Amino acid sequence: MKYLPIDSQLFIENRQRLIQHLEPNSMVVLHSNDIMPTNADGTMKYVQNSDLFYLTGIDQEESILVLFPDFPDENFREILFVRATNEEIAIWEGHKYTKDEATQTSGIQKVLWVSQFERTLYTLMTQAEHVYLNTNEHLRADIQVPTRDARFIKWCQEHYPLHSYRRLAPIMHKLRAIKSVGEVELLQTACNITKEAFDRVLRFVKPGVMEYEIEAEYLHEFVRNRSRGFAYEPIVASGGNACVLHYIENNDRCNDGELLLMDVGAEYANYNADMTRTIPVNGRFTDRHKAVYNAVLRVQKEAMGLLRPGNTIKEYHKEVGKIMESELIGLGLLDREEVKNQDEKQPLYKQYFMHGTSHHLGLDVHDVGNVYQKFQPGMVFTVEPGIYIRDENLGIRLENNVVIRENDVYDLMRNIPIEAEEIETLMNEK
């Protein structure tokens, strides 16, 4: 791993919070993600299961966490299983966790090899009444391939059919939605790395550069600052490409007079930044560009004011929609009378602002969290309004990451330039 060691106290406290939500005499079992194949003998870059990382800090394949807080022998109440290494693995794949290193990372004292899992599980299951197993229950998940957790659920229910099984996901969603101080610090690091890369790009962009060259500038700065790379597939969209919400080809030339929308973020220690900035390719906004840009910026600032404890995503998005309506009327894109008589189920502003304003952010870019749950201090959200005018080949989105506090929000991207005049000044510095 490129990132610096994380204090194991973060993962110890995460496990303690989870235990408080379990029924008496319960056991929890979580598995790492698979290494996924591509073609021939190729594999995708490994990404750890977010729930396992949240509870252990272990960033390695073939790892298993078992928690059984009420087990009679206190030595078996927390067990971490990791892959046993050998000389051949060390030669071909490199270093793997030793037992001592796994303890140092996770704070779990009892570490066994994965080969000992089934026999140990049998001992634990003889005493367990309830078993919490993990599933991916993200609202937007489209699961085509059975995960290691899913395969284990089937295996476990076949071998131990008389136990009472419970869903772990709702508990994890509740816990992970509220970020601890340590998690916010890791997110801040990801945002800081993203800032460094954006500063680099402001000095690099000029008419004639290719979108993929800009992507490369971001990646260079991310990796040199201990990031694994992009938190998600980057969007570097010049001109009309910015009106394609998930444009990822990044293969066009950036032309004089166009705007450049960049939706990028650095990953750090599995935590993710999610930034969008829109800049003029030649370093100067036209009057029209600036009018639309400042409208988006005003919506973003007002939206931040609505991220308060007690509000909900549904009501929040409804209020942001009203703010956007007003701005679109001011830009001459919507007619006030037509808006007054519109179908409330199909608001007219969605012609120009088609997506939501905010989503949870953390170990996953679209992080877990109950969308029906009221906002609470410690939740981290993106704030990303946009206006897309296809007839003008003009798309502008601005996105910051914020932490909800009791009376305001804390902007993790407060140091990343966003005011139009500031962007122009930085792009024209010699």
Q: What is the pLDDT of residues 384-409, one digit of tens each?
A: 999 999 999 999 999 999 999 999 99
Please report where in the chains the tokens 């800049």 appear, as a residue.
Answer: 279
Distance set, CA 237 to CA 212, 215, 330 (Å): 10, 10, 26
| Residues listed for the chain | 430
**pLDDT the model gives residue 430:** 61
Please report where in the chains the tokens 């598995």 appear, as a residue.
Answer: 31
d(CA 336, CA 328): 9
The three-class DSSP label of residue 164 is: strand
Percentage of residues of the chain with pLDDT beyond 90: 93
CB 382 within 8 A of CB 358: yes
Q: How confident is the model at residue 165 (pLDDT cuts 50, 70, 90)?
A: very high
Mean pLDDT for the chain overall: 96
Q: What stretches of 128-238 adopt beta strand conformation (E)?
A: 130-133, 164-167, 235-238
CB 192 within 8 A of CB 240: no
Q: What is the pLDDT of residues 343-361, one digit of tens each?
A: 988 999 999 999 999 999 9
Q: How confident is the model at residue 139 (pLDDT cuts 50, 70, 90)?
A: confident
Q: What angle do CA 17, 71, 128 make, to 5 degrees?
A: 95
Position 7 pLDDT exceeds 80: yes
Q: Which of 62, 221, 364, 384 is catalytic?
A: 384
- Clarify whether 100 is annotated catalytic: no
Single pTM value for the model: 0.96
Q: Which of 226, 317, 355, 405 is catalytic?
A: 355
What average pLDDT does range 223-237 have in this prediction? 98
**pLDDT the model gives residue 408:** 95
**pLDDT the model gives residue 280:** 98
CB atoms within 10 A of CB 216: 14
Amino acid found at 28: V
Q: What angle do CA 21, 49, 268 make, to 5 degrees?
A: 105
Position 152 pLDDT exceeds 70: yes
- Clarify whether 271 is annotated catalytic: no
Q: How many CA atoms lie within 13 A of 30 on its CB side?
A: 29
Please report where in the chains the tokens 């993600």 appear, as a residue.
Answer: 33
- 76-80, 93-97, 217-221, 379-383: least confident range: 93-97
* Nearest of 285, 271, 293, 280 to residue 183 by alpha carbon: 271
CB 108 within 8 A of CB 56: yes
- Clarify whether 246 is annotated catalytic: yes
Q: In what order do the strands lie in the sheet with 130-133?
A: 110-113, 78-82, 64-67, 26-31, 130-133, 164-167
**pLDDT the model gives residue 112:** 98
Q: What is the pLDDT of residues 245-290, one digit of tens each?
A: 999 999 999 999 999 999 999 999 999 999 999 999 999 999 999 9
Q: Which of 359, 360, 364, 367 is catalytic?
A: 359
Q: Which of 88, 246, 337, 429 is catalytic?
A: 246
Q: How confident is the model at residue 368 (pLDDT cuts 50, 70, 90)?
A: very high
Position 142 pLDDT exceeds 90: no
**pLDDT the model gives residue 102:** 97
- Clarify whether 424 is annotated catalytic: no
d(CA 42, CA 28): 33
Q: Which of 137, 366, 405, 411 is catalytic?
A: 366
**pLDDT the model gives residue 277:** 98
d(CA 301, CA 327): 13
d(CA 191, CA 103): 29
Q: Which of 51, 217, 267, 274 is catalytic?
A: 274
Q: How confident is the model at residue 21 (pLDDT cuts 50, 70, 90)?
A: very high
Percentage of residues of the chain with pLDDT beyond 70: 100
- Clarify whether 274 is annotated catalytic: yes
Position 193 pLDDT exceeds 80: yes
Q: What is the pLDDT of residues 46-103, one digit of tens each?
A: 999 999 999 999 999 999 999 999 999 999 999 999 999 888 888 888 889 999 999 9
22 secondary structure, DSSP code = S
- Clarify whether 366 is annotated catalytic: yes
**pLDDT the model gives residue 322:** 97
CB 348 within 8 A of CB 313: no
**pLDDT the model gives residue 140:** 85
Q: Which domains does the chain have, with CATH numbers?
A: 9-177 (3.40.350.10), 181-427 (3.90.230.10)
Helix axes 287-306, 313-330, angle to 10 degrees: 150
d(CA 393, CA 255): 12
- Clarify whether 397 is annotated catalytic: yes
Position 367 pLDDT exceeds 80: yes
